[in-house]
Amino acid sequence: MISNDVFGMVFLNPPYDNTMAGIGDDGTERKEYIELLRGTRYVRPGGVLVYIIPSYRFADSKIARHLATNFEHVAIARFTDEEAAYDDFSQCIFIGTKKKTKQKMTSQKLLDFSTQMDSPEFIMQKVAPIDRFIGKTEWVVPQAPLNIPTFYTRLESKESFIKAIKENKGFEAFKERTKPKTFSLEGQQPIMNISQGQMALLLASGMVNGMIGSGDDLHCLQGLEIVTTEHGKEEHETGIMHISRTKRSVSIKALTPQGDVIKLQ
């Protein structure tokens, strides 16, 4: 949260990218333009805006018209190859003073100049390197108030949420549901004897993985269901029919107290 019309100078070097599309959005906006609108609000009338973007982005109709309407005493320069590798990033810098009048007229000269900056030939011929402005052109940065009325964030510190999350019942339920399943018969006996088929299902589902027994009868078990396909033939009056059947079997590995691994299948 930042007060409008308060800073003597704002320096903008926004991301050269598009915004992310949200639910219900018809499209995205360029971040160079969004940050230009935001930054312009924060500059006080008579203050200075420094704005760095790729040269071809100045030709965007929204950016060009905004700069030509809201600023005066302007200059557009390109970085030199020695300072910022212009050939690699094509960055240009805009410096201008925000107009003080409420009724703002668009500078047609600046608008026409900006809309031609998508041409590399135009940039090299008409846009001077930044070092030519040193010592020749000046901008006055007005004094800003020492205490900005509004300058803070609405985002809370992460630490303030930790206690609330730990005490949240929904979070506790989530932790219980995501705990690894365990199954142990130690010290317990089922109400009825487990049949061979039921034991096979327990083993196949992995429910019997773990420690069973105690002392000399302590075993570590791991159950695994193996699914295979068997192919066969059946004779019918109309001929031979080729069939496929799914076969399910259980593989059990047991680790004995003596360290032997027994595999049952």
pLDDT grade, residue 70 (50/70/90)?
Answer: very high
The CA distance from 96 to 49, in Å, is 6
Q: Are residues 228 and 119 in the same domain?
A: no
Position 206 in a domain: yes
C-alpha separations of 204 from 65, 97, 162, 181, 197 in Å = 70, 76, 40, 14, 10
Name the H helices within 48-154.
61-70, 81-84, 86-89, 108-115, 120-126
Q: Which pLDDT belongs to residue 263?
A: 78
Position 96 in a domain: yes
Q: Are residues 121 and 35 in the same domain?
A: yes
Contact 32, 58 (CB under 8 A): no
Total number of domains in the chain: 2
Q: Are residues 118 and 32 in the same domain?
A: yes
Position 115 in a domain: yes
Q: Are residues 18 and 117 in the same domain?
A: yes
The last residue of one of the domains, among 100, 116, 133, is 133
Position 163 in a domain: no
Position 238 in a domain: yes
Q: In this model, does residue 169 exceed pLDDT 90? A: no
Tokens linked to 48 = 């200075």
Q: Are residues 11 and 126 in the same domain?
A: yes
Where in the sequence is the domain holding 231, given as residue range(s)? 196-264
Position 236 in a domain: yes
Q: In this model, does residue 188 exceed pLDDT 60? A: no
Q: Are residues 125 and 238 in the same domain?
A: no
Mean pLDDT of 111-128: 92
The last residue of one of the domains, among 113, 133, 153, is 133
Q: What element of type H or E holds 72?
A: strand 71-78
Q: Which pLDDT belongs to residue 98?
A: 96
Q: Are residues 30 and 125 in the same domain?
A: yes
The last residue of one of the domains, among 133, 150, 175, is 133
C-alpha separations of 226 from 48, 72, 95, 206, 265 in Å = 73, 78, 72, 12, 9
Position 75 in a domain: yes
pLDDT digits (tens, 9 = 90+) for 50-63: 999 999 999 999 99
pLDDT grade, residue 204 (50/70/90)?
Answer: low
The single-letter DSSP state of residue 102 is S
* pLDDT winner (highest mean) among 10-14, 85-89, 214-218: 10-14
Residue % of the chain over a pLDDT of 90: 34
Mean pLDDT of 192-221: 67
Q: Are residues 200 and 114 in the same domain?
A: no
The mean of the pLDDT values for the chain is 81
Residue that wins the pLDDT comparison between 144 and 142 = 142
Q: Which pLDDT belongs to residue 133?
A: 83
Q: Are residues 122 and 227 in the same domain?
A: no
Position 150 in a domain: no
Q: Which pLDDT belongs to residue 107?
A: 94
Q: Write phi, then psi, for 63 (nearest 5 degrees).
A: -65, -45
